[in-house]
Amino acid sequence: MIFLGAGASASFGIPTTETLTIYIRGLLAEEHQELLNDIDAFWRGIHDKDPNYENILTFLMGLTDYRKIPRDSSIRVFVKDHEKYRGNYERIIDEMYSRIVTYCTTPFVSGEKYLSPDRLEENFEYTYDIFALLQNEVVFTTNYDPSIEIWCQKRNIQLHDNTIPTENPEIREVLPINENTVASGQTNLSFHADRAKPTLRIVRLHGSVWVYETEKKKRVKMTRPRDRLLFTDWYPHLNKKPLMIFPGQESVLASGEWNMLYQHFKKMLQGNCLVIGYSFQDETINRAFIDSLNQGQLNTIGILNPRPNEVVKNLFWNQDIPYQKIIQMPAEFGKAQALDEIHRNWVNRVLHTTYPRGVSSFINAFREKMRSYLY
């Protein structure tokens, strides 16, 4: 399995957790500095570090609606002990929601921060093109941005994302999540297999900025980076917000389709898992990894991150760290060093795969074979 976090999209201009944390702290400090100070003190007392934007949002959602905090969350204690802060923080929550949606879409639509086809090629070289070395791995992610969909279009890769075509080529219908659809599709990025079109299976645990819900509760997904206003010409009563599970909405994650996705993720979390750009700040995701390790289901976790030691501490913050099961790869996804780390410490060391003509030659052949250029 490949598990992608925010750092996997950073080279496309999508902000990391650190950037979003700075932004929400500024929003909260404008009117609620005392609350922010108490949140900081509470979080540092338990975790010995500052809270990130996801943690802060969970505090705000809990203070707004106590039911949105999972029963085993430490934040529930804070909400109980700080009744004076109970209130409506929807304005700040909505502002963060809008900011994240803007960040995730801006690089792919016309404008000042638009990524040209040449810039996309530069980014793909040391990001998703590396997946050619991991030919059969399913991708799970909590990211909202469409960079991996765009990569599949550019590389002429069929994407298995629980959608089916519609009469409009710009739109796909999202299938309801059930036992039959949740595990459908597979990844096969080999470009030598009987000339069959390579495929990539992706499971988005928290939704996407390209998915919207119609007034009849049907879910639809864009197929190209387009302005949302153009999209709503086809669906005038489209929900104003993309279908995304925002940090702090654990109560939503614990029910219905979202829970089915999460249970499927836990079931698939076995063998070896390469974690790219994820900082393990989500208690729900962390529990899945810890449980899979303790049950002997998960053998090895590879962590590609500029500061992998900090990430490991985030995952095992109150437990002994099983270093023998952790492979740390200090590199930034999108840089040449990331390819080197994944090749040496994951493909060779864990997957036991070698490339007689060299890994760069193999990826270049994949790139030239699959290049599609859909503008």
Which tens digit of pLDDT belongs to each residue from 112-156? 678 888 888 889 999 999 999 998 999 999 999 999 999 998 898
* Comparison of pLDDT for 60 and 234, the residue scoring more: 60
Residue 227 has pLDDT above 60, yes or no: no
317-330 average pLDDT score: 93
Q: What pLDDT score was predicted for residue 218? A: 83
Say yes or no to pLDDT of 250 above 60: no
For 195-204, 303-312, 317-326, which range has the lowest pLDDT when averaged over its residues?
195-204
State yes or no: pLDDT of 312 exceeds 80. yes
What percent of the chain stands above pLDDT 70? 88
Q: Give the angle subtended at the CA of 149 by the CAs of 285 and 135, to the nearest 5°.
A: 75
Parse the chain into domains and list their residue ranges: 2-12+115-370, 17-101
The reported pLDDT for the residue numbered 372 is: 62
pLDDT of residue 374 exceeding 50, the answer is no
Question: What distance in Å separates the CA atoms of residue 74 and residue 80, rounded to the nearest whole number?
Answer: 10
Question: Per-residue pLDDT for 253 more than 70?
Answer: no
pLDDT band at 229 (very low <50, low <70, confident <90, very high): very low
Length of the chain: 375
Cα–Cα distance between 42 and 48 in angstroms, integer? Answer: 10
Average pLDDT over residues 23-48: 93
- With bands split at pLDDT 50, 70 and 90, how would you rate the model's confidence at 100? confident
The phi and psi torsions of 173 (rounded to 5 degrees) equal -90, 135
> Please, are residues 29 and 64 in contact by the beta-carbon 8 Å criterion?
no
- Which one has a higher pLDDT value, 292 or 108? 292
> Which percentage of the chain shows pLDDT scores above 90?
48
Per-residue pLDDT at 10 exceeds 80 = yes
How many angstroms separate the CA atoms of 363 and 244, rounded?
33
Over range 280-303, report the average pLDDT. 93
pLDDT for residue 83 is more than 50: yes
CA separation for the pair 66, 162 (Å, rounded)? 33
Residue 33 neighbours by CB distance under 10 Å:
11
Query: Is 204's pLDDT higher than 50?
Result: yes
The chain-wide mean pLDDT, for the chain, equals: 86
Provide the pLDDT for residue 255: 60
pLDDT of 233 > 60? The answer is no
Give the lowest-confidence range in 23-32, 122-131, 172-181, 347-356: 172-181
Give the pLDDT score at 375: 41
Position 283 confidence tier, pLDDT thresholds 50, 70, 90:
confident
Quote the pLDDT of residue 36.
96
pLDDT reading at 287 higher than 50: yes
Residues 6+ apart with CB under 8 A from 5: 141, 142, 143, 275, 276, 277, 278, 279
The confidence score (pLDDT) of residue 53 equals: 87
Is the per-residue pLDDT at 193 higher than 80? no
